[in-house]
Structure 1
Amino acid sequence: MAAALAAAREAGRSPVLVTPEDAAATYGAGYLAALEQRARAEFPDVAFTLIVDCGDAPGYALACLRAGVRRISMREPNDKIADIARQMGAELVRRPT
């Protein structure tokens, strides 16, 4: 992630970074939220977006939201999770292809 953000800084870009599929289940919500916070602290001048993939697990999606992740994606649209995300100032987005 640091290499991508350093390259974005040098190019003057605002990248969209997407975790691997099912990253929330693999790495855990706390780790991914901390990763995003650290990247924002180390690269405050790079306006990046991190999308954390939660697969098809609403529980992992909710855990990520509670941990402070701002953008999550799921395999299938989930209106309840999307509504909760909005209420928390976050967003459920479609996974970029």
Structure 2
Amino acid sequence: KIASISGSGSNKTKKNILKGLLIACSPLESKYLIKIITGEMRIGSVEGLVEIALSRSFDRELNYIREAMLISGDISQVAVLAKKNILHSAKMKPFVP
């Protein structure tokens, strides 16, 4: 939702959405939400936990989540694909780890 917002006042709208998400989260959830958003969450064991969480949250098979992650290298993109049930459409992007 945030990525699709553009135009005049879009920064303020995005900040308000993010603020609402952070307010709704526990302190620990907020910590990891920020790490996911900023791309700082590159610890393999934690990343594996996020893959499991995506699998359970969207009722998708874990091996499909992991395969999409191997292809795209972007956990936020995999989350979107899982939500839309289109994990099979994961694509490689140059210079994305």
TM-score range, shorter chain: under 0.3
Q: Which has the higher contact order (CA 8 A, sep 6+)?
A: 1
In proportion to residue count, which structure has more strand?
A: 1
Task: Please tell me whether Structure 1 or Structure 2 has the larger radius of gyration of its CA atoms.
Answer: 2
| TM-score, structure 2 normalization | 0.25
